[in-house]
Amino acid sequence: MRILLAEDDPVLADGLLRSLRRAGYAVDAVASGTEADYALSTQEFDLLILDLGLPKMSGLDVLRRLRGRDSRLPVLILTAADSVDARVKGLDLGADDYMAKPFALEELEARVRALVRRGAGGGPTLLRHGALAFDQVGRVAYINDKMVDLSAREIGLLEVLLSRAGRLVSKQQLVDHLCEWGEEVSNNAIEVYVHRLRKKIETEGVRIATVRGLGYCLEKV
């Protein structure tokens, strides 16, 4: 899953990037409102983490413009302004959640998981497909209740496929949801990631089917 982080405090942004990437998310970061607005209008994300006090364009204006484009992207607001008025303005403009600085990383990660699930249609924290299960809280996968050792990229790939189980997922969709700016990821690289994941999770009752020329589908067999 791909997150856009709009935060102008470099120390906080670096900490959030490290934490979220360790959890298996692809994260792109911007430090101004204009950069955030441009990224949101030209690329696809699964979640926006938005600081209200951004330079060049305020976080509230970024949010206003995002919702003005009829985007339903989940938005988590971060701000040092812990006032009722600031909360109300953000929520009224369409924010989905709100955290005042300072905050605990563990709580932010939990809210991120909840918002990503909401953006994918909600549902339980444990995704199941046949003998395969993925714990979105612990960020671990199981086959027949036995934990599978996966890399961060494989975790992200599995989450995308599981959230769309039974439906075709194109290679471009995988790139859009898994890859950060500056990553040169070819279709061949996606094939390698899928091959590695397939070797680890394919078992009786579960498979990653290749639809030649189109993409992949997580199926029960």
Instruction: Specify the CATH number for the domain of residue 191.
Output: 1.10.10.10
Same domain? For 77 and 170 the reply is no
Compute the distance between CA of residue 81 and CA of residue 197 in angstroms, rounded to an integer: 43
Compute the distance between CA of residue 102 and CA of residue 80 in angstroms, rounded to an integer: 7
Q: Where is the domain boundary, 71, 88, 119?
A: 119
Percent of the chain predicted with pLDDT > 70: 91
- pLDDT value at position 152? 82
Compute the distance between CA of residue 38 and CA of residue 34 in angstroms, rounded to an integer: 6
User: Vertex 49, ends 47 and 54: CA angle to 5°?
Assistant: 140
- pLDDT value at position 81? 64
Same domain? For 9 and 55 the reply is yes
Q: Is there a contact between 129 and 205 (Cβ–Cβ < 8 Å)?
A: no
The Cβ of residue 125 has, within 10 Å, a number of other Cβ atoms equal to: 13
pLDDT band at 204 (very low <50, low <70, confident <90, very high): low
Compute the distance between CA of residue 154 and CA of residue 171 in angstroms, rounded to an integer: 14
Q: Using the predicted structure, report yes or no on whether residue 88 has a pLDDT greater than 70.
A: yes
Number of domains in the chain: 2
Average pLDDT over all residues of the chain: 85
Query: What residues are paired with 7 via a beta bridge?
Result: none
Beta strands in 7-155 (DSSP E): 26-30, 47-51, 75-79, 97-100, 126-129, 132-135, 140-143, 146-148
Percent of the chain predicted with pLDDT > 90: 26
Q: Using the predicted structure, report yes or no on whether residue 164 has a pLDDT greater than 50.
A: yes
Q: Which of 25-34, 180-189, 210-219 has the lowest mean pLDDT?
A: 180-189
pLDDT band at 189 (very low <50, low <70, confident <90, very high): confident
The Cβ of residue 97 has, within 10 Å, a number of other Cβ atoms equal to: 18
Same domain? For 149 and 213 the reply is yes
- pLDDT value at position 138? 74
DSSP code, position 121: T
Burial class for 84, CB neighbours closer than 10 Å (0-12, 13-18, 19+)? exposed
At 15-54, the pLDDT tens digits run 999 888 888 788 899 999 999 999 999 988 889 999 988 9
At 117-158, the pLDDT tens digits run 766 544 556 778 888 888 876 778 888 888 888 888 888 888
Q: Using the predicted structure, report yes or no on whether residue 6 has a pLDDT greater than 90.
A: yes
pLDDT band at 84 (very low <50, low <70, confident <90, very high): confident
Domain that holds residue 38: 2-119
- pLDDT value at position 141? 87
Burial class for 4, CB neighbours closer than 10 Å (0-12, 13-18, 19+)? buried
Same domain? For 81 and 139 the reply is no
